[in-house]
Amino acid sequence: MILKNGQVFTALGRFLTADVELEGDRIKQVAPAGTLHGAEEIDAAGKYVTPGFVDIHIHGAAGADFCDSVDGSQEYVKTMQKYLGSQGVTSFMGTTMAFSEEILNDIFAAVKPLFNQEAQGAVLRGVNMEGPFFNKAKKGAQAEKYIIDPDWEMFQRLWQTSGGNIRLVDVAPELPGAVEFIRKASELCTVSIAHTSATYEEAKAAYANGASHTTHLFNAMPAFTHRAPGVVGAAADDAAHVEMISDGIHLHPAVVRAVFALFGAERVCLISDSMRACGMPNGEYSLGGQKVFMNDGLATLEDGTIAGSATCLAECFRRAVKFGVPLESALRAATINPAQAVGLFDELGSVTAGKRADVLVLNKDLQPEHIFIGGKEL
């Protein structure tokens, strides 16, 4: 398959008018526009040829939740895969909630056969273990009864159950034993600061000892103020990447723009943090065993606490652009950066020869007209 004359988004985060050849499940080559010819061609002139979106923080979509797999069923993940693929999300990290070790163990055992396997849609690339090592004061929509201090032995057991597929683990760095946990866990996966009341100094210590990521910046952490910069200030100094939910609900559009200005396009990861109501009508749903009510894109617990999002990453990307983020910056934050953050950039996240053929053709409204996952068009 030849994608001709498109505006190709390169690994440098810039557009280049070029032809792209897909062969099998790989990107065979990227060549000057008009130079490649084949039996199957798509004229991408005036359109964007981009990597598939990479969502490293997503709980659910299309009525399904990653953690529903606790009953041993893989159908919930497959439902998510199909929906995400249809939106242009080609890789994702199944994200957990704060649960007991027994529940998490059952989830990881159930989904283990699906990691990195071809699917009818987006590929499950691993686990984002969001919880249970949190500060109860910043629990957000996490169930308090499951929240505990960092437990290295528990994490090791879950790591084994997952087959080494936990790619990201979250922790509040001010908790007892957290710094030692971060030091050890960072040898196995990306460690992120999350659901925390940490001071600037406590967050700095976490980054100094191996944390490199920050979960849904501004949400479930102290406010960023001029005398107490907190986690946000420490992240600005030291974090390799920060996540941001750019649905226009979790953060004001001005804050979305400000994050890119403060951190630069190279350090921001757009995420959905979506739950099962994503892609579904208004109504009652659940997250982490708690009731969630979704109304026009706003998902909340019964007490009004925001409970994840109901917006797909593809739409979060489009909204970031609508809010004034440059197209190249928003696209990088939905593809290159998240792939780098969880160690997947060698395989995906950019339109580069030799990488997996997860490629989108977007129209001028940034809607996908063609979606290739592993070289196969949906």
Q: What is the pLDDT of residues 178-223, one digit of tens each?
A: 999 999 999 999 999 999 999 999 999 999 999 999 999 999 999 9
pTM metric for this prediction: 0.96
The tally of domains found in the chain comes to: 2
**Omega into 132 within 30° of 0, i.e. cis?**
yes
Residues 10 and 77 in one domain: no
For residue 353, being part of any structural domain is answered with: no
What would the two tokens of residue 362 be?
């977007």
Backbone angles phi and psi of 220, in degrees to 5? 60, 45
For residue 37, being part of any structural domain is answered with: yes
Please report, for the domain that includes residue 27, its CATH number: 2.30.40.10
CA–CA dist 137, 163 (Å, integer): 32
For residue 355, being part of any structural domain is answered with: no
Owning domain of residue 14? 2-49+361-377
CA–CA dist 130, 190 (Å, integer): 12
Residues 226 and 320 in one domain: yes
Torsion angle, alpha carbons of 112, 115, 118, 123, to 10 = 130
Q: Give every CB contact of residue 12 below 8 A, 6+ residues apart in sequence.
A: none
Q: What is the pLDDT of residues 1-20, one digit of tens each?
A: 999 999 999 999 999 999 99
Residues 42 and 151 in one domain: no
SS3 114: helix
CA–CA dist 11, 46 (Å, integer): 20
For residue 354, being part of any structural domain is answered with: no
Return the DSSP state at 153: H
For residue 356, being part of any structural domain is answered with: no
Q: Which residues are catalytic?
A: 273
Low-confidence ranges of the chain (pLDDT < 50): none
